[in-house]
Amino acid sequence: MKTKKWYNYLWVWSIVYFALGFFNILFAWLGMIDFLLPLIFAIVGGNKWFCNNMCGRGQLFNLLGSSFKLSRNKTTPRAITSKYFRYGFLIFFLTMFGSMVWQTWLVASGAQNLRQAVKLFWTFRVPWKWAYNPAFLGESLAWVAQFSYGFYSLMLTSTLIGLIVMVLYKPRSWCTFCPMGTMTQGICKLKYKEVLK
Ligand code: SF4
């Protein structure tokens, strides 16, 4: 049997991340690690080592879906796994990310007040005031908290979508259209082409 490494337990991090953000939204910034690491691995190593070994979210879906049998284990529909859907979702995701950065900028420039809410599925605003005291960073750094709310919303929404498709289809159905997975795959393809030149 293969010996487990420390990074095989990073699913714990996925849970800890949301728990920390529940009590203090500023911890949402830590999610940037999950955002940047896969890209760094793909750019430097030209591989998906992060996805295959270190992604806490993928591990969590695997654990819940396979070990806890919370997945129906049905084939993921072609409509979701298709190239068009994957790239379409990536564009949508990046647009939403851009909109979040824009909201952060509006707060930083004083054009908008800090919104202490988490937006689920880019639609439903859930008040989340307890997780941040505006006096903590002051008005000039309110953008730091705004980014936290936005990023936490993005992380929570994508995890919820991942959990839904985990239950409906295969445990790691989310990975077939995960924006990070699509981006790293694209980078690896480009690097591979470069090597073959
Ligand atoms: S595709 Fe996304 S969720 Fe799946 S392992 Fe890679 S980064 Fe994690």
Q: What is the pLDDT of residues 37-80, one digit of tens each?
A: 999 999 999 889 999 999 999 999 999 999 999 999 999 999 99
- Maximal C-alpha separation, the chain: 58
Nearest to 128 by CA among 15, 18, 22, 7: 22
Full domain range(s) for residue 101: 6-196
**Domain-embedded: residue 11:** yes
The answer to whether 179 and 186 have CB atoms below 8 angstroms apart is: no
Helix (H) or strand (E) holding 88: helix 83-108
Mutate to test the pocket of ligand 1, among 86, 161, 175 (most ligand atoms within 8 A of CB): 175
Going from the Cα of 145 to the center of ligand 1, the distance in angstroms, rounded, reads 26
Mutate to test the pocket of ligand 1, among 11, 32, 57 (most ligand atoms within 8 A of CB): 57
**Domain-embedded: residue 1:** no
Q: How far apart are CA 74 and CA 100, in angstroms?
A: 34
Proportion of the chain above pLDDT 90, given as a percent: 91
pLDDT band (50, 70, 90) for residue 28: very high
| DSSP reduced 3-state for 131 | helix
**Domain-embedded: residue 192:** yes
Q: How many residues does the chain have?
A: 197
pLDDT higher than 90, residue 1: no
Mean pLDDT of 139-161: 97
Atom of ligand 1 nearest to the CA of 38: 7
Atom of ligand 1 nearest to the CA of 48: 6
Q: Residues with Cβ within 6 A of ligand 1?
A: 38, 51, 55, 57-58, 174-175, 178, 180-181
Count how many domains the chain has. Answer: 1
**Domain-embedded: residue 138:** yes
